[in-house]
Structure 1
Amino acid sequence: MGKIVGRDALISAIEALLGEAVGGHGATVVLRGEPGIGKTVLLEHAVHSGRERGMRVLRVTGVQAEGQIPYAGLDQLLRPVRTAAVGAGSPYRRAVDVLGLLGEADEPVLLAVEDAHWLDAETWETLTFLGRRVGSDQIAVLMAVRDGEDVDRRLAAAGMPELRLDPLPAADAGILLDRHAPDLVATLRARVLDEAAGNPLGVVELGSAAARFGGPALLPSSLPLSARVERTFAGLVAELPPLTRDLLLLAALNDGSSLDEIRAAGAILTGAEVPTEAIQPAVTSRLVTVDEQYELRFRHPLLRSALRQQAAPGDRRRMHAALAEVLGDSPIRRLWHRASAVPGRDEALARELTVLAADAVQRQTVAFALAAANRAVQLSEDPAERARRQIWAVHAAHEQGDPQTARRILTEIDDRELRAPDRVRVVFMRDHYFPGVSNGPERLPAYAGMIRTMLDGGDPDMAVQAMCDIALGVHYSNAPAHIREQLVDAALALGLDEDSPRLTAILGLIAPVEQGAVVLERLRRFVHRTDIPPTWRADLTVAAWAVGAFEIAATIGLASATDLRHQGRIGTLSVSLNAAAAAHASLGDTRSALPLAAESIALATEIGQRTWVLGGILITAQAEALRGDTESARRRAAEAEQALSSARRFPMLSLVQRARGLAALAEGHAEDAFRQLLRVFDPADTAYFPHQHLHLLGHLAEAAVLGGLLDELRPVAEQLEPVAERSQSPALRVGLGYARAVLTGDYETALADDLTDWPFDRARLQLTYGSVLRRSFRISESRPLLRAAATTFDALGATPWADRARAELRASGETRRKPMDTLDALTPQEQQIARLAAEGLSNREIGERLFLSPRTVSTHLYRIYPKVNVRSRAELARVITAGLSVA
């Protein structure tokens, strides 16, 4: 390749990227800039350099026409390798499969993606997810994108490093022009440089046109440069034979690059066989290339764009119809070309697209489902059906995490065309996406009425989904009892079987006290059932946490997470992990809670679930406080408080106070801890939240006994006695048992309860009672309790509590050495990998669980072993098992 003018720094960065990948340190870089700025040239340089380094090069070009076909780009990218190894499922599941596939050959790989902004959404998500996980793989990902607002949003979500291409300096632009049009007169040369403004493609194409046609080739100067270069390309195409022009337009409109496919469509248009040689004039003119597999590539994307834009609408429709006819073995591609060939509305085709959209949701290609639904709306003849399809499109946008599209569609719906239940659905969705002053707890009775209207209109499935959607919001609304009763009545009117997991989840969130006993009894039946869909089990996990059944929440949450990981449902997986992490933290198990919370935050951040990111931050703060990392816990609590206060989500401030109270307890500041936690129990406080009373009484009671505040604890505990009786909440039962013990001094009764699933609370009782016995000079009786407490707290990673137990033992005359905790040297992700490896999972199995490549897992283990002073999986398992044993 000839030297690329003016791009030395960018070339060095690309060479470094390739070199790192060859050395086993993969990375992803996005080349970004305006059309014609040189992205294609740099991408070609990377391809050439990668091959010289012995890298396997896989490449794909995004095409507008294929932007709606799910995984069209990925399929083309992987065509040279064994695509059978890439299974079905979500983009995230496929990304892990691709990492495994590319790692099997044990050779460095370059994924070169041109016009990535035109990739279908599923391919984009797959590649960007993959690109963030190639750190330990021999994979370089180089993606070229144009500037634009849509690209800004995509890249902001992708979070990948960028290399921006700026216009060439004047001197470099002059060198480039002289290389391609050396004989221009000075005035024309200056004009070309002025018009091109440092854009390399503009310099080359406008300079070449000026050399051939003189000054008129540069008119009109008012056109944007990209439009002028497109016009130049169009002029080159105009010189070609008519059949060649038709083939180029077919190629521009096609969602594939097969020359044989294009020739077959050309034969339908002309009624005669089209020879391969018919494309040769375009190859000779350097407009396209055709490789040995007969794959056609445009020399520059602007040529494809010029052909599409300048073709008459009738010609485009004829081309789409011809392509549809040759794609009989590819139903989705065929349907899209048929839809593009229709000149007006077509209700039958709209119905086909609606069915296809529904199927796409089941196949987890939500972006494609949204595109199909939108096109079905455009083709709809029946106004009522059009409105229903728009509503469906809003749901598809919601599933994709695309609030902008959802809001746009909601503003386009004509309410006059809606049936009564559909009108209710639209009002419900507008309340969600356009919240106003009337969207607080006072709006909840209206929701109950809306759900009944959906039922009366014969739409029970949507009514159930609507109730599921609002349940968590109701939980955190501090709604008064009479409103919760109305919503419970609406839930019971849904017609669900009383053993329905969905009804159980709804009731557990809406009314954890009033319906707690019923919900708990059903949860115990559901806990080990594997026939419940994992998305429903995720809802059950949140409900189990809400009612204080933490052990059940942890069990169901981890079980559902396994299936959700396999399916690649990252959105629901982040929710399930969040609830499981909250359950473990509420059980005092910091070692399990922190890795789960870290993964939940990472996945929620990945797809923009800000609410669950905040939830994960607060769970992390809770676990860090228990571990003794109080500075970090307070910092996270303050971060969450700012976000929640600005959004006026005051009940969730109870979780901020939980973290602050535990941090104060960890530091031994008992009175401060009591005051922080008591805010959650004070109706006059912004952090007041009765549902958290089920969870926090044990911590409040501990702060009271340590701070000498039992008189203030007593009325709180007394008020919660009937709540415990009604709700049967396990967490409140355990908390009340501790509170009664410290208020009455009867620790024996509390310890006689079955606390097998509550090791932290059992150890807290042992520590408190052991301390009382030691201070009463019953030394021999205190020591077994204090030893057991220290052992349990150490195993859970609750270091400040373990230190208190050891201090009490020292005061009793017995010294107990603090164990070396090698696991604390590991990051949360390393801890998770270490645990899975200790369980006997292979690198591939660990990678499938955590959306990592086997090579990345191997690299992590290579770093983990010396940190914990082991040399094998067997030794690691012994260390992990020793750390997890709880007395």
Structure 2
Amino acid sequence: MIVGRRGELRALDDLLAEAGAGSGGMTVMRGEAGIGKTALLEYAAERAGRLGMRVLSTAGVQAEVYVPYAGLHRLLRSAPELGRAAKAVLDAPDTLPYRAAALLLDLLSESADEAALLLAVEDAHWLDTASWDALSFVARRLGADRIAMVLTVREGEDVDRRLAGAGLPEIRLDPLLPEDAIALLAEVAPTLSVTLRQRILDEAAGNPLGLVELGRAVSRSGAGALLPAWLPLSTRVERTFSGLVAELPLATRALLVIAAHDDGDDLDELVAACRRMTGDDIGPDVIEPAVATRLVQVDDRFRLRFQHPLLRSALYQSTAPAERRRAHAALAETVAADPARQIWHRAAAAAGPDEQLAEELTEFAHQARHRQAAAIAVAAFEQAVRLSQDPAGRGRRLVAAVDIAAEQGDTANAVRLLEQVREEDLRLADRALYGLIREVYLDTGWSGSDRMTAFAEAIEVMCRDGDADAALHALTAIGVRVYWSVPPPEIVDRLVAAVEGAGAAPDDPRLVAVLGLIAPMTRGAWCLRKMAELQPADRLVPHFQFALGLTANGLGATTLGNALTTVAAAGLRVQGRLGMLSKILISQATNAAYLGDARSALTLAAEGELLATETGEHSWRLSAVMATGFAEALRGETEKAVKLADAAEAVLVPARRFPLLALVQQIRGVAALAEGRPEEAFREFCRVFDPADQAYHPYTRFLLFGHLADAAVWCGALDRLRELTAQMRAVAAQCPSPALLSGLRYAEAALAGTAEAYDMAIAEIPAEWSFDRARLQHAYGVWLRRHRRAADSRPVLRAAASTFDALGATAWADRSRAELRASGETLRKPVDAAQSLTPQELQIARLAAEGLSNNDIAERLFLSRRTVTTHLSRIFPKLGIRSRAELSRFTGTS
């Protein structure tokens, strides 16, 4: 029975109608306990049934919040054929949430071809994290499917964090209007006196469940059923439910207590656990009094469901600690065949420290972290902390939990856990990591290289103790942090000496990756040689490919970095490891921008930013924003570029992450070049090359020198360019960065100012550095024209414009066309129909042009096949084509 809620009912009707018509969507209904979420969800399910839609439902259960995929298993029980298809993936110990989500989306999309679907998810705030991640991932990708999803959640800080990271549309349920509250109370308790009716109306304050349950309780027992008004409404309603349970037989009450603590709903399992707890030989029939009083329901597959989530909550909260431990101990014995479930019940049943169980939970946490089930890993570490007897073990587990929470961007949880750490309990290595994390969440800001001394000491101790593997792991985890901190040379030397003296194999990919990031100047040349020897990349596991790819990028070996990360990305897509995949995509987007490929940079950055948002990688999301700004500047969309640069600076400066301002400066410099303001561009770039400037970063210079030289040549700052070229030639003698060498070829050819110098430099630039070659061709064309060799200038200017157009570097192509006009030739600007495509449409078009099927594209991009088909149906008219074969003309593929 629903009274009022006209706006909410209309929104649900619209959602279902649109899904039936092929435009799927979802909504989250949130509000306080008892506000009417369940009633609206039941309305949606009933309405969907009348519309011929198939309804799949699940509910979060407080006791199973740490059991991976418990919610998804529950959902698929209502669709046995889908459950069978998904069972192998969901039961696998290494299944990641996004792999499960991709499979679920595929299965649901196929099923929706036969009949539209409604996914009804109650109490989503109690879903296990793996199920939440999978379902929210699916929810964001329903636009082209005949699927609607409705979730209900209670208010709370945890819910705020989940929803903030999920980016899902919401309907917030407010209390009923006074006239609706009066009408509802009249329905359930028509005989109340005026005084009692008003008191219930006042205390319920528009909460529908409060009106219903308090009204019924007063009708049954009189005014004595009303608890003191100072208690929260949810507490009063829970006490009402508890009173109903107290009237049941002892065996029935015991069975309900077990059900409230179980992470499953199988009646036979509940009965078996109850026998263990009570010692009584009971059977399934003991549940009948609870069914008769409509406190629970049992379906034809003998699955038990509470009439209302508050009843389960009431039982759970009112159970005495000793009885709660007995319930969990009984359940642990009953589910012994399922270690993932059993370990949580064992932990909940433990009455005191248990180092063996703590170690088992630690191992479980590491496995969960490997599967990217971060919240489960943190919870397991916290349970392990509670059970730890060894202070050092307790500290190590807390730091690990903090590290995971920090990785996920869960600042509130990281702070809460940090405050529990006792630094005196930590090993030296743990103290170093603790200090670096603590500065971000509890202190004033980023310390740059200040804490690197302590970190170097920790690495030295680990290496001295023969634990090279731990040292390499710690350095791999924090290598990018060291790279952007630019520690003083003495700290770098200590780190290098410790690692190189620890006895690690010279071809250990971690050693190569670590040394390239912590010591680019002194070890960069060696690392570049070793990375070339480690090719082909498919001989390595994705984690090592990724680490080496980041190092190659940091050394300015962007094409090598792309080769490594492309192979890694393919493996990570198959595994569904989206956290690492998002970093790879963002790295590739940045590489594409350095290579002048604006189109690829935008598509890669868009997907990388989406995945970084979904996986909570907030620092990497900021990197995606800056890669997008760089690409927009190349395209000539300078207003967008500068806004993104300003937004990034507003984050970096308060955090005192000054070296990262180099990435902001490159956006501003390239934007100024695109607008024809080379003097301003030169000033912006020079900040990155000035050790006294906050934006100075010695290694970004590798990648930026070509742009700086371009600006200097254009504005005539040749004397300053000559000085910087001499400096950077000395740098290249130590670290032969491919990007730096390419920039030096440009600068030296322009400074020499001879046809021979230009011809030689163009010939030396590798084919894959097509933007750099085109930039040099443009400069050569300008030189030729100004030396009255207009006819000779036209072929090189034409080639430059063609390359810039192909890359989407529109501003540079326009410059080449302008020089061509000055030489006496007009080159028409091509119509770029691909600009009308969104980044996702362009990505789909490119994959289709490469010959991938719709199924392959869907799997690669974590979309449903229907979504891919819908996008292609929109892409063809935008481009004015009729077949996939024509796509290569617009996407740069062949």
Which category describes the TM-score, using the shorter chain as reference length?
over 0.9
* Pair 219,778 (structure 1): closer, same or farther in 2 beyond 3 Å: closer
* Contact 1:795–1:884, Cα closer than 8 Å, also in 2: no
- Per the alignment, residue 4 of structure 2 pairs with 6
Most deviating of 683-692 and 477-486: 477-486
Distance 1:423 1:814 in 2: 67
SS in 2 for 1:515: helix
Q: 1:842 offset after TM fit, Å?
A: 1.8
Rounded to whole Å, the distance in 2 between the matches of 1:561 and 1:45 is 43
Deviation at residue 380 of structure 1 after TM alignment? 2.6
Q: Rate the CA distance shift 1:400–1:611 in 2: closer, same or farther, 3 A.
A: closer
Q: Deviations over 1:775-824 (max 9, x none)?
A: 32323322221222122111111122222222333333333222222111
Displacement of 1:368 in angstroms is 2.0
Are 2:587 and 1:579 aligned? yes
Distance 1:264 1:459, change over 3 A: same
The corresponding residue for 2:454 is 446
Provide the residue aligned with 2:104 in structure 1: 98
Q: Which residue of 1 aligns with 2:858?
A: 847
1:66 maps to 2:64: yes
- Of 804, 815, 826 in structure 2, the residue corresponding to residue 793 of structure 1 is 804
**1:604-641 C-alpha deviation (Å, 9 max, x unpaired):** 22233222122112211211111111121112112212
Partner amino acid for 2:16? L
The answer on whether the counterparts of 2:429 and 2:455 sit within 8 Å (CA) in structure 1 is: no
Range with bigger deviation, 38-47 or 597-606: 597-606
2:600 aligned partner, one-letter code? S
Q: Distance in 2 between matches of 1:203 and 1:285?
A: 19
Which residue type is aligned with residue 58 of structure 1? L
Q: Which shows bigger deviation, 470-479 or 49-58?
A: 470-479
Map Cα deviations across residues 58-96 of structure 1 (whole Å, 9 max, x no partner). Answer: 111111110111111111111233234332522122111
1:652 matched to 2:656:
no
Counterpart Cα distance in 2 of 1:605 and 1:425: 25
Structure 2: state its 5+ residue gaps.
none
Which residue of the partner structure matches residue 650 of structure 2? 642
Within the candidate set 502, 506, 518, 1:498 is matched to 506
Distance of 1:688 and 1:326 partners within structure 2: 62
Aligned to 1:147: 155
Q: Displacement, 1:677?
A: 1.5
Shift of residue 127, structure 1, vs aligned partner: 1.2
1:764 paired residue number: 775
Three-state SS of the structure 1 residue aligned to 2:28 is: strand
Q: Tell me which residue corresponds to 1:515.
A: 523
Which residue identity is paired with 2:85? A
Contact 1:513 1:547 in 2 (8 A): no
- Relative distance call for 1:531 and 1:400 in structure 2 (3 A) is farther
Is this contact kept in 2: 1:755–1:761, CA < 8 A? no
> Equivalents in 2 of 1:680, 1:112: separation in Å?
53
Whole-angstrom distance in 1 between the partners of 2:391 and 2:357: 15
Task: Tell me the residue number matched to 1:748.
Answer: 759
- Secondary structure of the corresponding residue to residue 58 of structure 2: strand
In the aligned structure 2, how far is the partner of 1:25 from the partner of 1:181?
42
Letter of the structure 2 residue corresponding to residue 17 of structure 1: L
Secondary structure of the corresponding residue to residue 538 of structure 2: coil
Pairwise CA distance, 1:760: 0.9
Q: CA deviation at 1:416?
A: 4.4
8 Å Cα contact 1:234-1:303 kept in structure 2: yes
Match of 1:817 among 828, 831, 835: 828
| TM-score, normalising length: structure 2 | 0.95
Q: Distance in 2 between matches of 1:168 and 1:209?
A: 20
Task: Give 1:431 shift.
Answer: 4.3
- 1:420 is displaced (CA, Å) by 4.7
Count of aligned positions: 881
1:811 alignment partner AA: A
Change (3 A) 1:879 1:487: same
Q: CA deviation at 1:500?
A: 2.0
User: Which residue number corresponds to residue 74 of structure 2?
Assistant: 76
Q: How does 1:23-172 map to 2 (within 5 A)?
A: 23-81=21-79, 82-86=82-86, 87=89, 89-105=95-111, 106=113, 107-172=115-180
1:832 shift after superposition: 0.8
Number of the residue aligned with 1:726: 734
Distance 1:145 1:704, change over 3 A: same
CA 1:733–1:84 in 2, change beyond 3 Å: closer, same or farther?
farther
In structure 2, the residue matched to 1:267 is 275
Encode CA deviations 1:725-769: one digit per residue, 9 max, x unaligned: 111111111111111111111212212314212111111111111
Residue 603 of structure 1 corresponds to which residue in structure 2? 611
Give the letter for the 1:198 counterpart: G
Instruction: Determine if contact 2:432/2:455 at 8 Å carries over to the other structure.
Output: no
What is the alpha-carbon distance in structure 2 between the residues aligned to residue 466 and residue 186 of structure 1? 70
TM-score by length of 1: 0.95
The question of 1:531 aligning with 2:529 is answered no
| Amino acid corresponding to residue 23 of structure 2 in structure 1 | H
Matched letter for residue 871 of structure 2? H
Letter in 2 for 1:7: R
Secondary structure of the 1:304 match is helix
Instruction: State the alpha-carbon separation in 2 of the partners of residues 48 and 213 from structure 1.
Output: 33
Asked whether the equivalents of residues 463 and 499 of structure 2 are also in contact (C-alpha less than 8 Å), the reply is: no
When structure 1 is superposed on structure 2, of 621-630 and 63-72 the one drifting more is 621-630
Q: Distance between the aligned counterparts of 2:232 and 2:486, measured in 1?
A: 56
2:247 pairs with 1:249 = no
Q: Distance in 2 between matches of 1:525 and 1:280?
A: 71
Q: Secondary structure at the match of 1:387?
A: helix
**Aligned pairs (5 A) from 1:433-472:** 433-436=441-444, 439-457=447-465, 459-472=467-480
SS at match of 2:882: coil
Distance, in Å, in 1 between the alignment partners of 2:422 and 2:821 is 76
Q: Which amino acid counterpart does residue 798 of structure 2 have in structure 1?
A: R
CA distance in 2, matches of 1:171, 1:311: 38
Change (3 A) 1:6 1:513: same
SS of residue in 1 equivalent to 2:302: coil
- Can you list the C-alpha shifts for 1:645-670, whole angstroms capped at 9, x where unaligned? 22222222222221122112222222
- After superposing the two structures, state which structure 1 stretch, 351-360 or 265-274, moved more: 265-274
Q: How far apart, in 2, do the equivalents of 1:269 and 1:815 lie? A: 89
In the superposition, relative to structure 1, how do residues 884 and 320 fare at CA in structure 2: closer, same or farther (>3 Å)? closer
* Rounded Cα–Cα distance in structure 2 between residues aligned with 1:427 and 1:617: 28
Please name the residue that 1:550 is paired with.
558
Aligned-CA RMSD value: 2.1
SS class of match (2:589) = helix
Q: State the distance in 2 between where 1:717 and 1:760 align.
A: 20
Q: Cα 1:716–1:384, aligned 2, differ >3 Å: closer, same or farther?
A: closer
Residue 351, structure 1, aligned to residue 359, structure 2: yes
1:712 Cα offset (Å): 2.1
1:511–1:20 Cα change, 3 Å: same
Rate the CA distance shift 1:269–1:620 in 2: closer, same or farther, 3 A.
closer
1:129-528 pair list within 5 angstroms: 129-269=137-277, 271=279, 273-431=281-439, 433-436=441-444, 439-457=447-465, 459-528=467-536
Secondary structure in structure 2 of the residue aligned to 1:35: coil
For residues 623 and 426 of structure 1, the distance between their equivalents in structure 2, rounded to whole angstroms, comes to: 36
Bigger shift: 812-821 or 194-203?
A: 812-821
Alpha carbons of 1:370 and 1:202: their partners in 2 closer, same or farther (altered >3 Å)?
same
Task: Return the alpha-carbon distance in structure 2 between the equivalents of residues 428 and 162 of structure 1.
Answer: 37
- Structure 1 residue 835, shift from structure 2 partner: 0.4
Identity %: 54
Distance 1:778 1:539, change over 3 A: same
Structure 2: how far apart are the matches of 1:365 and 1:651?
32
Match of 1:687 in 2: 695
Say which SS state the counterpart of residue 111 (structure 1) adopts: strand
Superposed displacement of residue 878, structure 1: 4.5
Q: Which blocks of at least 5 consecutive residues in structure 1 are unaligned?
A: none
The alpha carbon displacement at 1:643 in A equals 1.8
- In the TM superposition, what is the alpha-carbon distance from 1:390 to its structure 2 partner? 2.8
> Does residue 673 of structure 1 match 2:684?
no
- Please state whether the residue corresponding to 1:655 is helix, strand or coil: helix
Cα distance in 1 for partners of 2:451, 2:430 equals: 19
Q: Is the 8 A contact 2:459 2:495 kept in 1?
A: no
Contact 2:41 2:150 survives alignment (8 Å) = yes
Equivalent position of 2:887 in the other structure: 876
Contact 1:421 1:459 in 2 (8 A): no
